Amino acid sequence: MRNYLLVSILTLGMAGIYASDALAQQAASTPNLSGLWQPQGSYTFDPADPRGARAADPTRYPMTPWGLEKFKANKPAHGDGQNASSNDPTNKCFPPGAPRSYVTPYPVEFVHSATRLAMLFEYDVVYRVVYMDGRGHPQDFEPTWMGHSIGKWEGDTLVVHTTGFNGKSWLDRVGHPYSEQLELTERFRLVDKETLQLDLTFHDPKTYTRDWTGQKIFKLKPTWELKEYVCEDNYTFDEFQTETGVKFVQ
């Protein structure tokens, strides 16, 4: 019996070592995405429509009646449909959440190891962690702004799956809604040493009648460092708004 236990422990231990070796080997043969990345275009996930001229196009964004009602209630501060009395939740310093944290004019630092991808977002000093050690999503995850993310390599592409969203933010800066049913799939691929392409698939049957896709291109900024952007500093704008009538908080 003791030998059986010993063999079992050794076997499990060796399996763990091999698993670690496998991760290390995979890390050695796949790109490392570490670096400071600046998203290109700051309003949408459609490079062909950066200002959201097609934001209400049902062939591009196939919304359910519930989704459409939410979309019509959203008043963006940016893009072709911008409104001087915006109700963008980030105007009140709610976090942008994932994936909207990519849709800002501010960069993100990727810190990439064999088992983790940490994303440190300049805007509002928020972070996100992608687990790449083979774990699954937890069964009892409480919904959050960023959700729960796991990743694995498919060839030269890192595929990240995220669930557990609270549905409280917008997907982009032109007001597209989402719900707690959102499942986000992100595919990261280095186009060249300085260009990172992210293709996103949005699966949210409560908000959209079918899956739809988006894209974001990032440029590496090797000479930049993260700066601090604390949203609450925006409230120093109150005096300016009072004096000028130029409002950004509803």
Partner 1 sequence: MRQTSLVFVLSAVGLVAAARPAFPHHGTAAYDTTKTVTVSGTVTEFRFTNPHVLIYWEAKDEAGNVQRWSGERSGPNSMARNAGWSSRTMKPGDQVTISGRPSKNGTNTIAVSKIILNGQELSMGGND
Identify the helix (H) or strand (E) that includes residue 219: strand 212-220
Count of residues in contact with partner 1, rule CB under 8 A: 32
User: Whole-angstrom Cα distance, residue 94 to residue 79?
Assistant: 20
94 binds partner 1 (CB under 8 A): no
Q: Is 224 in the site for partner 1 (CB under 8 A)?
A: yes
Q: Among 74, 101, 104, 169, which residue interacts with partner 1 (rule: CB under 8 A)?
A: 104
| Binding span for partner 1 by CB under 8 A among 7-15, 59-67, 180-188, 239-247 | 239-247
Q: For 116, what's the count of Cα atoms within 13 Å in the CB-facing half-sphere? A: 8
Provide, rounded to whole angstroms, the least separation between the CB of residue 227 and partner 1. Answer: 4
Q: Which residues lie closer than 8 Å to 74 by C-beta, 6 or more apart?
A: 87, 88, 170, 175, 176, 177
Q: Is 209 helix (H, G, I), strand (E, B) or coil?
A: coil
Q: Are strands 148-154 and 126-131 parallel, antiparallel or unpaired?
A: parallel
Q: Which of 91, 185, 197, 201 binds partner 1 (CB under 8 A)?
A: 91
Q: Toward partner 1, which CB reaches closer, 153 or 224?
A: 224
Does residue 243 bind partner 1 (CB under 8 A)? yes
| Least Å from the CB of residue 78 to partner 1 | 5
101 touching partner 1, by CB under 8 A: no
Residue 192 as a binder of partner 1 (CB under 8 A): the answer is no
Residues 28-87 contacting partner 1, CB under 8 A: 42, 76-79, 82-84, 86
Binding site for partner 1 (CB under 8 A): 42, 76-79, 82-84, 86, 88, 90-91, 104-106, 122, 224, 227, 229-231, 233-234, 236-237, 240, 243-248
